[in-house]
């Protein structure tokens, strides 16, 4: 685990419990591994049990502690059960990372109802449901960190992604509002807004499009999943204790 965090920021999350949605692959997997590398016990949540097993194996293989929990982030009842299961197992819930998300791209005039509904449901409703469930626990303990994965698409828009951009703009609005609601109970709520990150999702764009994307990024490269995970780790740390309602862009200068 230390190897993944070599030459990166470090903090001590020993004794803390984190929950990461969409932890089966991509950004979610890297975030889960990074939090575990800082000492947190990590509940890895995803609909894909096989992918979760891989994430847990990575964490445990490096000496960390993790558990896999399958669940649909859009199912209110299941979300409440997942949070209750984590608290029952480890008697705490200190950090929640709402990372689960999908894209179903298409121009607005051709976008189908189900393309809109599924993206809004997973990206925004899922974030709402886990935030609500976690808030009830954290408010009682008067401490907690809720970290939502937004996107620069929610700040600047992106052609062909009306559904995705709307969902991530909603996540940003949710973040800022809940930050105000929970601040008095010692709970911070922040968002990380990645730009173009080298994941399976962006790889599907093809090299020709990615070459054009790099030209738009002042740092002239795609970000790495670890860049996003480091931002999440910072928000989870004590160093970010006086930061709430903030949206941190991790985009190589794309939105400058």
Q: What are phi and psi of 73, to 5 degrees?
A: -70, -10
**Residue 6 banded pLDDT, cuts 50, 70, 90:** low
Terminal Cα-to-Cα distance of the chain (whole angstroms): 34
**In the block, residue with structure tokens 């803390």:** 16
Structure confidence at residue 199 (pLDDT): 86
pTM over 0.85: yes
Structure confidence at residue 241 (pLDDT): 97
What are 140-198's pLDDT values in tens digits? Answer: 999 999 999 999 999 999 899 999 999 999 999 999 999 999 999 999 999 999 999 99
Percent share of the chain, pLDDT over 90: 91
| 2: pLDDT strictly greater than 70 | no
Q: What are phi and psi of 95, to 5 degrees?
A: -135, 130
Q: Which of 90, 116, 130, 164 is catalytic?
A: 164
Secondary structure letter of residue 240 according to DSSP: G
Structure confidence at residue 5 (pLDDT): 45
Is position 171 annotated as part of the catalytic site? no
Task: Pick the range with the lowest mean pLDDT from 87-101, 103-117, 177-191, 202-216.
Answer: 202-216
Structure tokens at 219: 């740092």
| 22: pLDDT strictly greater than 50 | yes
Give the integer Cα–Cα distance in Å for 103 and 120: 10
> Where does the chain have alpha helices with state H?
26-37, 49-61, 76-90, 113-120, 126-141, 153-156, 162-182, 200-203, 207-216, 225-236
Question: What is the rounded average pLDDT of the residues 101-108?
Answer: 95
**Domains of the chain listed by start with CATH number:** 17-249 (3.40.50.720)
| 7: pLDDT strictly greater than 60 | no
Q: Provide CB contacts within 8 A for 232, sequence distance 6+.
A: 31, 34, 35, 97, 147, 149, 192
| 204: pLDDT strictly greater than 80 | no
Give the integer Cα–Cα distance in Å for 212 and 209: 5
């Amino acid at each position: 685990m230390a190897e993944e965090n070599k030459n990166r920021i470090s903090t001590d999350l020993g004794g803390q419990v984190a929950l990461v949605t969409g932890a089966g692959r991509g950004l979610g997997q890297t975030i889960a591994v990074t939090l575990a590398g800082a000492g947190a016990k990590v509940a890895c949540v995803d609909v894909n049990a096989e992918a979760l097993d891989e994430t847990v194996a990575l964490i445990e293989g490096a000496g960390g502690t993790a558990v896999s929990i399958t669940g649909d982030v859009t199912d209110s009842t299941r979300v409440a059960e997942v949070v209750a299961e984590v608290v029952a197992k480890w008697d705490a819930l200190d950090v929640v990372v709402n990372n689960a998300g999908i894209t179903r791209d298409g121009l607005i005039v051709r976008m189908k109802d189900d393309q809109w509904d599924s993206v809004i449901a997973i990206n925004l409703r899922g974030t709402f449901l886990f935030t609500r469930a976690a808030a009830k626990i954290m408010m009682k303990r008067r401490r907690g960190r809720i970290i939502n994965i937004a996107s620069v698409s929610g700040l600047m828009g992106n052609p062909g992604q009306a559904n995705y951009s709307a969902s991530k703009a909603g996540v940003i609005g949710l973040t800022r509002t809940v930050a105000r609601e929970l601040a008095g109970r010692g709970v911070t709520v922040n968002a990380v807004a990645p730009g173009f990150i080298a994941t399976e999702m962006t790889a599907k764009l093809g090299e020709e499009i990615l070459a054009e994307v790099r030209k738009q990024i002042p740092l002239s490269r795609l970000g790495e999943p670890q860049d996003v995970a480091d931002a999440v780790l910072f928000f989870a740390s004590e160093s970010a204790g006086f930061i709430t309602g903030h949206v941190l862009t991790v985009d190589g200068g794309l939105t400058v």
